[in-house]
Amino acid sequence: MKMIDVMKQNKPYCSSYSDNPSELQTIAKTLCWKYNQTSPSSHEERAMILDELLGTYNPSAYIEPMFFCDYGFNIHMKGFVFINHNCVILDTSPVIIVQGVFIGPGVCIACAGHAIHTEQRLEGIGTSSPITIEDNVWIGANATLCGGVTIGESSIVGAGSVVKQDIPSGVIAAGVPCKVIREVTDADRIDHGQLFHG
């Protein structure tokens, strides 16, 4: 089995860094560079680049520059997604971002890891596990999602959090490491009478 096929599987794996297809990483880096040089008004050009870069691109997905990823082909956006500035996705495994997802500035989504034992780390042995972000999730600014986690539907991950375990659906979670604080309830609704109407 080729390394690229292993990387596309939705399960954890270990490999040597030399096994990773560097030529595909170069393609992704080039497309990210092109994307990050585009004008804010270049909607069609940006869509064309994302369609070429990402494994699954939905036209209702929007990414603010600067944006960086390892390969692109392992990033799958199923519907409306908004990714704010300076997001990094290390997609050595599949990253599934469903729909209705908001990702704040400075977020790092890292499937990739290193061997814990020093000798193996210096040998270039790495790990990778997929990440899933379900419907209607909000990831706060500067949060980090580590390999193997799933963020449950309609949950919120607080700014600056480090997520190392699955987050269930319908909760607010935050901290280092990220832990569930409470459920999202109707008490969290904003009173429409308080909204500004210009």
Catalytic residue among 43, 114, 117, 197: 114
For 71, what's the count of Cα atoms within 13 Å in the CB-facing half-sphere?
25
Query: Rounded to whole angstroms, how far apart are CA atoms 68 and 158?
Result: 22
100: Cβ contacts below 8 Å, ≥ 6 apart: 79, 80, 135, 136, 137
- DSSP 8-state code for residue 165: S
With 0-12 / 13-18 / 19 or more C-beta atoms within 10 angstroms meaning exposed / middle / buried, residue 22 is exposed
Cis preceding-peptide flag for 66 (omega within 30 of 0): yes
Query: Rounded to whole angstroms, how far apart are CA atoms 175 and 141?
Result: 13
Cβ–Cβ < 8 Å for 80, 118 = no
Cβ–Cβ < 8 Å for 163, 142 = no
- Give yes or no: 114 in active site: yes
Query: Rounded to whole angstroms, how far apart are CA atoms 81 and 183?
Result: 23
Active site residues: 114
